Amino acid sequence: MTAQPTNLSGLDLRAEIDRLRIERKAVILAHYYQKPEIQDLADFVGDSLELSRKAAATDAEVIAFCGVRFMAETAKILSPEKIVVLPDMDAGCSLEDSCPPDQFAAFRAQHPDHIALTYINCSTEVKALSDVIVTSSSAETILAKIPPEQKIIFGPDRHLGGYLNRKFGRDMLLWPGVCIVHEAFSETELLKLKAQHPDAPIAAHPECPAHIVDHADYVGSTSGILNYAKAMTGDTLIVATEPHIIHQMQLAMPGKTFIGAPGADGNCNCNICPYMALNTLEKLYLALRDLTPRVEIEETLRLDAKKSLDAMLAMASGTVGQGDLGRP
Ligand code: 13P
Ligand code: SF4
pLDDT tens for 26-62 read 999 999 999 999 999 999 999 998 998 999 899 999 9
Task: Look at ligand 2, atom 2, and give the residue with the nearest C-alpha.
Answer: 179
pLDDT tens for 204-223 read 999 999 999 999 999 999 99
* 9-18 contact pairs (CB < 8 A, 24+): 11/285, 13/281, 13/282, 13/285, 14/41, 14/281, 16/285, 16/289, 17/41, 17/281, 17/284, 17/285, 17/288
What domains does the chain contain, in order, with CATH numbers? 13-92+276-297 (3.40.50.10800), 95-178+302-324 (3.40.50.10800), 182-271 (3.40.50.10800)
Residue ranges around ligand 1 (CB below 6 Å): 47-48, 121, 135-137, 179, 205, 207, 221-222
Nearest bound ligand to the CA of residue 321: 1
pLDDT tens for 149-198 read 999 999 999 999 999 999 999 999 999 999 999 999 999 999 999 999 99
| pLDDT for position 317 | 81
Task: Give whole-number Cα distances, 138 to 14, 94, 120, in Å.
Answer: 34, 21, 10
CA of 234 to the centre of ligand 2 (A): 29
CA of 23 to the centre of ligand 2 (A): 32
| pLDDT for position 313 | 94
Task: Look at ligand 2, atom 6, and give the residue with the nearest C-alpha.
Answer: 93
C-beta 63 within 6 A of ligand 2: no
| pLDDT for position 323 | 37
Pocket test of ligand 2: the residue of 126, 175, 182, 239 to mutate, having most ligand atoms within 8 Å of its CB, is 182
C-beta 94 within 6 A of ligand 2: yes
| pLDDT for position 7 | 72
CA of 268 to the centre of ligand 1 (A): 18
CA of 321 to the centre of ligand 1 (A): 11
Task: Look at ligand 1, atom 9, and give the residue with the nearest C-alpha.
Answer: 48
| pLDDT for position 328 | 28
C-beta 180 within 6 A of ligand 2: yes
C-beta 140 within 6 A of ligand 2: no
**What is the C-alpha to C-alpha distance for residues 61 and 25, in angstroms, rounded to an integer?**
5
| pLDDT for position 265 | 76
| pLDDT for position 79 | 95
Task: Compute and round to an integer the Cα radius of gyration of the chain.
Answer: 19
| pLDDT for position 270 | 73
C-beta 273 within 6 A of ligand 2: yes
Determine which of 1-15, 213-227, 280-294 has the lowest per-residue pLDDT on average: 1-15
pLDDT tens for 74-92 read 999 999 999 999 999 999 9
C-beta 278 within 6 A of ligand 2: no
Average pLDDT over residues 304-312: 97
> What is the identity of the amino acid at 281?
L
Total-model pTM: 0.94
pLDDT of 318 over the 70 cut = no
Q: Mean pLDDT for the chain?
A: 93
> What angle is formed at CA 316 by the lines to CA 251 and CA 92, rounded to 5 degrees?
60
CA of 296 to the centre of ligand 1 (A): 22
Q: For residues 4 and 314, which has the higher predicted lDDT (pLDDT)?
A: 314
Task: Look at ligand 2, atom 3, and give the residue with the nearest C-alpha.
Answer: 273
Return the percentage of the chain with pLDDT > 70, whole number: 94
pLDDT of 322 over the 50 cut = no
C-beta 184 within 6 A of ligand 2: no
Task: Look at ligand 1, atom 5, and give the residue with the nearest C-alpha.
Answer: 48
CA of 39 to the centre of ligand 2 (A): 17
In three-state secondary structure terms, 21 is helix
pLDDT of 319 over the 90 cut = no
pLDDT of 3 over the 90 cut = no
**What is the C-alpha to C-alpha distance for residues 71 and 64, in angstroms, rounded to an integer?**
11
pLDDT tens for 173-183 read 999 999 999 99
**What is the C-alpha to C-alpha distance for residues 89 and 74, in angstroms, rounded to an integer?**
14
pLDDT of 320 over the 70 cut = no
**Phi/psi of residue 182, nearest 5 degrees:** -75, -25
Determine which of 67-81, 109-123, 257-271, 284-298 has the lowest per-residue pLDDT on average: 257-271
Return the percentage of the chain with pLDDT > 90, whole number: 89
pLDDT of 325 over the 90 cut = no
